[in-house]
Structure 1
Amino acid sequence: MKLANHEDIVQAIHDCREVVVEWRSQDDGGTIQRRRCAPMDYALSRRFHDQAPRYHFFDFESDSGWNHPLSLLSSQIERVEVLESTFDPAMFVTWDTRRSPWVLPRSTWGDHN
């Protein structure tokens, strides 16, 4: 199931706009987490085998000490707020996107489309 503001999130991907994501962390017993992220995609995850689509973000504020991708089911997400601030995909896209392409097409990410 897609979030109510799914189209805003997709537009934030195209506009390279940061978001704030609030979600219930399964790893932390359901506590609410709030992080500034870059929206990356809405697709099935290669890491999870439940065939459920997930929102994929790059977490700029991880409490683990290293920034990393964050993949969340819509049922985990409480809220996604699109910010005015922007991001550069080159900050976190380290793979060849021609070999592992995005599900949501984009044309504004330069070499990382």
Structure 2
Amino acid sequence: MNNHEFFLHAINEKKLVQVKFDSQEKGIIQRLCVPFDFGPWRREMNPNPDRYHFYDLDSPDGKHNLSILPEQIISIDVTEQSFDPAVYIKWNPNWFIKRDWGIHS
């Protein structure tokens, strides 16, 4: 499987991922994340390439949303750790990628 397939698998199975990426500012970084979605960044209206959207669980700066362009991704590894979407989804989602997360789909 490629990185995108691993990402989709993690969403469907509700598994955390280890994401390794080139942050451009801080170099190569690896983070434990909840996989959220793949698509344009909703905050930006200009030409807006698709990107991977995660919730970073182990940043030294605290937990936060993390959006990464595909060309920055080095690897996405699916862990055995499950997550409960209800813990992280506190809004009415409108995902680009379909999933079966109950009321959080």
Q: TM-score, normalized by length of structure 1?
A: 0.84
Helix, strand or coil: the match of 2:7?
helix
Higher helix residue share: 2
Seq. identity, %? 38
> Following the alignment from structure 1 to structure 2, what is the Cα–Cα distance between the partners of residues 50 and 85?
35
Query: Which segments of structure 1 move beyond 4 Å, counting only runs of 4 or more?
Result: none
Q: What do residues 32-57 of structure 1 show as CA deviations (whole Å, max 9, x unaligned)?
A: 11110011111111134331000111
Residue 31 of structure 2 is aligned to residue 35 of structure 1: yes
Structure 1 spans left out of the alignment, 5+ residues: none
Q: TM-score, normalized by length of structure 2?
A: 0.90
2:4 corresponds, among 3, 6, 19, to 6
- CA 18–75 in structure 1, closer or farther in 2 if over 3 Å, else same: same
* Equivalent in the alignment of 1:110: 102
* Equivalent in the alignment of 1:15: 13
Structure 2 spans left out of the alignment, 5+ residues: none
> Following the alignment from structure 1 to structure 2, what is the Cα–Cα distance between the partners of residues 70 and 14?
19
Number of residue-to-residue matches in the alignment:
104
> Following the alignment from structure 1 to structure 2, what is the Cα–Cα distance between the partners of residues 70 and 50?
19
> Following the alignment from structure 1 to structure 2, what is the Cα–Cα distance between the partners of residues 11 and 4?
11
Helix, strand or coil: the match of 1:75?
helix
How big is the shift at 1:92?
A: 1.5
2:91 corresponds, among 91, 95, 104, to 95
> Following the alignment from structure 1 to structure 2, what is the Cα–Cα distance between the partners of residues 50 and 70?
19
> Following the alignment from structure 2 to structure 1, what is the Cα–Cα distance between the partners of residues 47 and 88?
26
> Following the alignment from structure 2 to structure 1, what is the Cα–Cα distance between the partners of residues 21 and 47?
19
> Following the alignment from structure 2 to structure 1, what is the Cα–Cα distance between the partners of residues 43 and 68?
12
* Equivalent in the alignment of 1:57: 54
